[in-house]
Chains A and B, each alone.
Chain A
Amino acid sequence: MKQLIGSLISAALLLILSTNFALAEQTGRIFVSNEKDDTISVIDGDSLKVEKTIEIGERPRGVGISPDGKELYVAVSEENKIRVVDTNTLEILRDFEAGSDPETFAVHPNGNVYVSNEDNAKASVFDPKTGAQIVEISVGLEPEGVAISPDGKRVIVTSESTNMLHVIRVPEHTIENNILVGSRPRAATFTKASNIAYATAEISGEVVKVNMDTAEILKKGSTGDSKSKPKDVLLSLDEKVIYVAGGRANAVKVMDADTLKIIKKIPVGKRVWGLAMTKDGSRLFTTDGVSGTVSVIDTGKNEVIKTIKVGSFPWGVVIND
């Protein structure tokens, strides 16, 4: 009996500790990179108001957060660096060299950062704690989108001018497949099971659904009119629909994840590129580059519930939740 009580108490303590631990980590903030005015807008997750603007460096584009939620990473392309910000204090902590012209990146579950180096046809891997480069991988021209499978075994790098998805195996860092898709592939995302990926092709105005085990294109879907130049793509929590940032169509396209047919168009600001979703799947944030705004979408209704003015040409968005 004593033993049972003892283990119950320790289990309760552990629960409290871990809950506290998790709460202490995540600020709920939304971070937005503003490409043209070299800043990061920090949006409070509850009030949905900009609480701070951080001077970050030249041409900030890709943004990401460390697996423990403590650090924000920002690719400052013109400086060839990734700058690290404390998500809690909002102080700039350090930076590290991230190869030539780092555009966007993704954070691996193991903490490493996979970067596309736009102007030299390379993808590179860094340990953001030390800034050490782990490996450099040759890919096609103008590499842009980087997506990491939830199981951590594959990384997709899209090359915009070579029209390919380069599939890189982790930890080997060898290219497993080069999948030719439509013109100017820009972004990709994986299903939770890691076996399917979706990618957008900007100039051909398409989304492709790819079987990652066979490298086979399962389906192609048009994102609509000629102005619709898709960029970011994300899956809903139940994986029944995908959200596609429609570029100059000034709308987010909600598409059936199976048929790739458009279900709904959600009007947002001008030239929408970046997308981020809360972990609970309830809200979607967009960066509307030309409007200089972030739109907040309620995914239950698929409607914009708020528009937030941020800096000049917002590019990437990430949530610390």
Chain B
Amino acid sequence: MLHKHKLLKSLCLMFITSLLLSANVKALEVRLLYVGPEDNSALKGVEQGIQEANLQGQFLNQKYLLENIDETTASQHQFGAYSAIFLNTKKELITKLATKLSDKAVFNLNSADDSLRYACIANLLHTIPSNKMKNDAVQQWKKKAPDSSAVAQAWHPDFLKFAARDLNKRYKKNFNVPMDDLAWSGWAAAKMTSDTVARLKSADPSKLLTFFKTELAFDGQKGINMNFRQTGQLRQPMLLIEDGKIVAEAPVRGVANPPTLDSLGIINCEK
């Protein structure tokens, strides 16, 4: 008797729940794909961004789903359903996939190779800084501190300014490791995707791509709004690190020429 009562109760509950669910407007689903190794900070960064996207999504009725595949299975994979692709792989595969998937944004999360920027593949977007950006940042800093042996990075776990503190804190809490360049690059790609979906109220890949190329004003928690160059490179400030400590930010004030983010890296496409 007791069991029957319980069963009836749970059936009633199920019925009510299903009614409620069907009454709700279906959430906008945004499917995204990561291609690359699983045990990697770029994937952790993407996951961080997706988690934040879903936090925002609960207020806008948007839901983000991330799938990840290994680069060895990438050539047979069906890409149609995804709003954007995040790549953490070799230069050759980056070029191949970006060329194949020309109607959607393909993010390069890992390769600093300058030739990928010179190539100016219209839908290939680099959130990771190029080698030339790093070199330019170091050269600027050396004009002020000639004996310095600083290296340039996109990010650093000790970075506190401009709410970098908050992002570092969230990431560390989730993964129990400090945020590095790859993780920032993955987070930035996922975060700008959800920012854009929120504004457009659409997950249409080509609409997202157009927005990235023409209207983006991304808050990467580095204190300045960011957008993409014609080369597909994300304009961004760099950090100069010496002995594990942040010693300066580039563009280096008073040295950078022009005194803007365009003093770092490749500006124009190769003819």
Q: Which residues of A contact B (CB under 8 A)?
A: 118-119, 121, 138, 140-142, 160-164, 166, 175, 178, 180, 182-184, 203-205, 226, 229
Q: Assess whether A161 is in contact with B166, with CB atoms less than 8 Å apart.
A: yes
Chain B residue nearest to A202 (CB atoms) is B219
Residues 197 to 229 of chain B near chain A (Cβ within 8 Å): 198-199, 217-219, 221, 223-225
Q: Assess whether A161 is in contact with B225, with CB atoms less than 8 Å apart.
A: no
When A and B form their complex, which 10 residue pairs have the shortest distance between CB atoms, in order from nearest? A178-B59, A183-B219, A203-B219, A162-B56, A203-B225, A184-B219, A142-B166, A204-B217, A141-B52, A119-B169
Q: Assess whether B59 is in contact with A204, with CB atoms less than 8 Å apart.
A: no
Chain B residue nearest to A206 (CB atoms) is B217
Chain A residue nearest to B191 (CB atoms) is A161
Q: Assess whether A226 is in contact with B199, with CB atoms less than 8 Å apart.
A: no
* Interface CB pairs A-B, < 8 A, 26: A118-B166, A119-B170, A121-B55, A141-B52, A141-B55, A141-B56, A141-B166, A141-B170, A142-B163, A161-B167, A161-B219, A162-B55, A162-B59, A163-B56, A163-B195, A175-B59, A178-B59, A178-B60, A183-B217, A183-B219, A183-B225, A203-B217, A203-B224, A204-B225, A205-B225, A226-B224
In-complex Cβ contact of B59 among A164, A183, A203, A205 (8 A): A164
The residues of A that contact B170 with a CB separation of less than 8 Å are 119, 141
The residues of A that contact B58 with a CB separation of less than 8 Å are 138
What does the 1/0 interface line of B136-177 toward A look like (CB < 8 Å)? 000000000000000000000000000100110110000000
Roughly how many angstroms separate A76 CA and B56 CA in the complex, as a whole number? 27
Roughly how many angstroms separate A100 CA and B219 CA in the complex, as a whole number? 24
Chain A residue nearest to B225 (CB atoms) is A203
Chain A residue nearest to B166 (CB atoms) is A142
The residues of A that contact B221 with a CB separation of less than 8 Å are 161
Main secondary structure of the interface of A (DSSP, over half): loop
The residues of A that contact B167 with a CB separation of less than 8 Å are 161
The contact size tier of chain B is 20 to 34
Q: In angstroms, how far is the closest chain B Cβ from the Cβ of A202?
A: 8
Chain A residue nearest to B53 (CB atoms) is A162
Q: In angstroms, how far is the closest chain A Cβ from the Cβ of B221?
A: 7
The residues of A that contact B56 with a CB separation of less than 8 Å are 140-141, 162-164
Count of CB-CB pairs between chains A and B under 8 Å = 58
The residues of A that contact B59 with a CB separation of less than 8 Å are 140, 162, 164, 166, 175, 178
Q: In angstroms, how far is the closest chain A Cβ from the Cβ of B192?
A: 11
Q: In angstroms, how far is the closest chain A Cβ from the Cβ of B237?
A: 12
User: Told that A161-B219, A163-B198 touch, could you supply 10 new A-B pairs with CB distance under 8 A?
Assistant: A119-B166, A141-B170, A142-B163, A161-B221, A163-B219, A164-B56, A182-B217, A183-B217, A183-B225, A203-B223
Chain A residue nearest to B167 (CB atoms) is A161
The residues of A that contact B223 with a CB separation of less than 8 Å are 203, 229
Chain B residue nearest to A162 (CB atoms) is B56
- Among B60, B217, B218, chain A packs the most CB atoms within 10 A around the CB of B217
Q: In angstroms, how far is the closest chain A Cβ from the Cβ of B107?
A: 19
Q: In angstroms, how far is the closest chain A Cβ from the Cβ of B256?
A: 14
What does the 1/0 interface line of B58-72 toward A look like (CB < 8 Å)? 111000000000000
Q: In angstroms, how far is the closest chain A Cβ from the Cβ of B165?
A: 9
Known contacts being A118-B166, A119-B170, is A140 close to B55, with CB within 8 Å?
yes
Q: In angstroms, how far is the closest chain A Cβ from the Cβ of B73?
A: 33
The residues of B that contact A166 with a CB separation of less than 8 Å are 59
The residues of A that contact B198 with a CB separation of less than 8 Å are 163, 180
Roughly how many angstroms separate A162 CA and B58 CA in the complex, as a whole number? 11
Q: Assess whether B163 is in contact with A161, with CB atoms less than 8 Å apart.
A: yes
Q: Assess whether B163 is in contact with A160, with CB atoms less than 8 Å apart.
A: yes
Chain A residue nearest to B260 (CB atoms) is A226
The residues of A that contact B199 with a CB separation of less than 8 Å are 180
The residues of A that contact B163 with a CB separation of less than 8 Å are 142, 160-161, 184
Q: In angstroms, how far is the closest chain B Cβ from the Cβ of A207?
A: 15
